[in-house]
Structure formats: C-alpha cells, structure tokens
A and B are shown apart, each in its own frame.
Chain A
C-alpha cells in the first residue's frame, strides 16, 4: 500500500547551521509532494511543494529535493533559526485528482541557541 515515512524522528542542530530533513515514499505513481511545518498546538503550515517533473525547488531559506529513482524527498533549511523549531511532515498526493495527501510521521527539529 501507499506510505510515506521519515528517516529520523528527531533532528537537533545548532542555530545558524543548515538542516536536512529526509523522507522516503513508496508509491512511484505519486506526482505531488509537500512539506509542512507544525508548531506545538497549531495546524500544519505549508512550506514548499514540488511536482514530479522537477528535481529541485527553492523557496526562502528552504529547498526541496526530489529523487524519483530512489523515491526520496528532502527538505533543506539554510541558516536554521530558533523559530524553525517544529515538527516537519512530508506528504504525497495519492493517485487521481481528489487531492488526498498521505502524511509521514514527522521529524522534530530542535534548534539549539
């Protein structure tokens, strides 16, 4: 069946360093991927997305990389700040056009001052 998972439950980085959060997906038919950030007590917040016709997409301080060969997705955060501390989820779109997303369990990013 379809599943999306994250490799590390917790990632601890020093303020100012770059962070890399990884995600593996199993459905090679998925063609849309999203990264969400969830702060404590809040709903998930959209960070960046990428479609399967791209390998890389950049936003403000964030970059998403997609490797379809090994079904791997990563989120890179440059110059990590204390405000980046949160749980990060990757999600993949299921087949069809219903917009359904399948979420992984999440990686907690802790930023040390």
Chain B
C-alpha cells in the first residue's frame, strides 16, 4: 500500500494563476479530506468528501474547489491564486469515525 499520495511536492504560482493539487489513496477509504496548514499553526479543513460524487465545505473553502469522481482520487483546484493561499496542503483519508491517514503534503507559494 502506498497510502495517501500527493502531487506535486512543491509549487510556485503567480497571483491569478490556477492549478490542481492531486491526491490519491489506495486504502479503499470512502472519506477524504483537504487541509491547509499555515506556519506554526494547526490544520484547517478546506473540503471533504464522504464518497464518490459527494463533497462538502469545511472551515476555509473560499478560493478552492473539489471533485470526487472515484473513490481513490480527490483533487483540489485553485482557480485564481492569491498570496493568502500560500500554505502547505495535506490530503487525508479514512474509514468513517476512524483515524485519518495523511499524505506528505504539497508546499505552495503564491507570489
């Protein structure tokens, strides 16, 4: 099992550019999540999904979009990058009401 994988590991965007952060899990988890982590802070939930075709907003969804067409994949889309979106992004997956398994993260800088 590779667990949760994320690509890319690092990315620098210019203001106004768009990109998709990829997340894949091979544990057959129905639940998947996207978090952002700002320096010295905890994780904040952006979006989550309880199954293919079902997504919902978390605590900080503005500026992001998600889709969930398969159980394995949960991409996060940034449409118009802003400096405030400079952060480390983590994807996670879980079975219902169990611990979440995290990917290695994507470090994004918007300049």
Chain A residues close to B by CB (< 8 Å): 4, 32, 34, 36, 41-46, 49, 89, 93, 97-106
Number of residues on chain B facing chain A (CB within 8 A): 27
In the complex, the answer to whether B43 meets A44 with C-beta atoms within 8 Å is: yes
Per CB-CB distance, the 6 closest pairs between chain A and chain B, nearest first, are A43-B102, A103-B42, A103-B43, A46-B99, A99-B31, A105-B42
**Residue pair B45, A97 in contact (C-beta under 8 Å):** no
Bound form: Cα–Cα A104–B42 in Å: 6
Interface of B is mostly: strand
A100-B42 contact given A42-B104, A43-B105, A49-B99, CB 8 Å threshold: no
B64: Cβ under 8 A from any A Cβ: no
Shortest distance from the beta carbon of B12 to any chain A beta carbon, whole Å = 17
Most A CB within 10 A of own CB, among B42, B90, B94, B97: B42
Given contacts A46-B100, A103-B43, 20 further A-B contacts (CB under 8 A): A42-B104, A43-B90, A43-B102, A44-B102, A49-B99, A89-B42, A89-B43, A93-B97, A98-B48, A98-B50, A98-B56, A99-B33, A99-B48, A99-B94, A100-B33, A100-B45, A100-B48, A100-B58, A102-B45, A103-B35
Residues of A within 8 A of B96 (CB): 97, 99
Which of A32, A46, A101, A105 touches B41 (beta carbons < 8 Å)?
Answer: A105
Q: CA A17 – CA B35 in complex, angstroms? A: 33
B residues contacting A by CB (< 8 A) are 4, 31, 33, 35, 40-45, 48, 50, 56, 58, 90, 92, 94, 96-105
Contacts of B42 in A (CB 8 A): 4, 89, 103-106
In the assembled complex, the CB of A32 is this many whole angstroms from the nearest CB of chain B, namely 6
A112 to B44, CA, bound (A): 31
How far is B37's CA from A89's CA once the two chains are assembled, in angstroms? Answer: 12
> What distance in Å separates the Cβ of A69 from its nearest Cβ neighbour in chain B?
23
Q: Which single residue of chain A is at the shortest CB-CB distance from B43? A: A103
CB closest chain-A residue, reference B41: A105
Other-chain contact of B103, A43, A46, A99, A105 (Cβ < 8 Å): A43
Instruction: Give chain A nearest CB distance to B102 CB in angstroms.
Output: 4
Q: Which residue of B lies closest to A36 (CB)?
A: B102
